[in-house]
Amino acid sequence: FYGIPHFCVSIALRLRNEIMVGVIYDPIRDEMWSGQKGEIPKLNCRPFHVSDRADLSEAVISVGLSKTSEMIDSNFPLLQQMIHHVRKCRVLGSAALDMAYVACGRFDAYIERGISLWDIAAGWLLIENAGGTVDLRPRPDMKDKYSIVATNGVIDLKL
C-alpha cells in the first residue's frame, strides 16, 4: 500500500466457532507462519514461541488504527496511554502481520479496538499455540467488530 512493504496473506480455517488452522505469509520477506490447533507453530518450518519479556517498560507493542474517524478516535487515546508505559509503540497497519510478530517474539503485544475476525483469526491461533494469550471481545456498538489484546502471556495489558 503506497509502496510500503508491510502486508501479508492471512488464511484461517474455522470449524464450529473454533480456529483450527492459521497461516500468515509475508511475500516480501518470504516468511510463512503456520500452525494447527494444539500444535507448536512454525516459521518457515522452524518452531517458534512468544517473547518472555515481562517488564512493560521494556515491551515493544503494536497498536492498530482503523480507517474510519470513529475508530481512530476510539484507538488514539489507547495509543497515547501506551506510549508512556512501553519501550516502543508501533503502528504498522497490518493486523495479521503484527500478530505474527507477537507470536514469534518480535513484538510483545498487539492491541486494537474495532477489528474484524478475518484480520486476526490466523494470528490468534498462532499466538495461543506459541504460548501467548488473546483477549477478544465483541464491540456491542459495532457489528462484527472486536477489541483485541494479544500478548506474550506475561505482560499484563487490559482492554
In a domain? residue 39 = yes
Q: Residue 76's domain is classified under what CATH number?
A: 3.40.190.80
Query: Is 1 among the domain residues?
Result: no
| C-alpha cell at position 82 | 501506551
Question: Is 73 a domain residue?
Answer: yes
Residue 115 lies in a domain: yes
157 assigned to some structural domain: no
Counting the structural domains of the chain, the total is 1
Closest Cα partner for 63 from 75, 71, 73, 46? 75
| pLDDT tens per residue across span 114-147 | 899 999 999 999 999 999 999 999 988 888 889 9
Q: Which domain holds residue 92?
A: 9-151
Rounded to two decimals, what is the model's pTM?
0.92
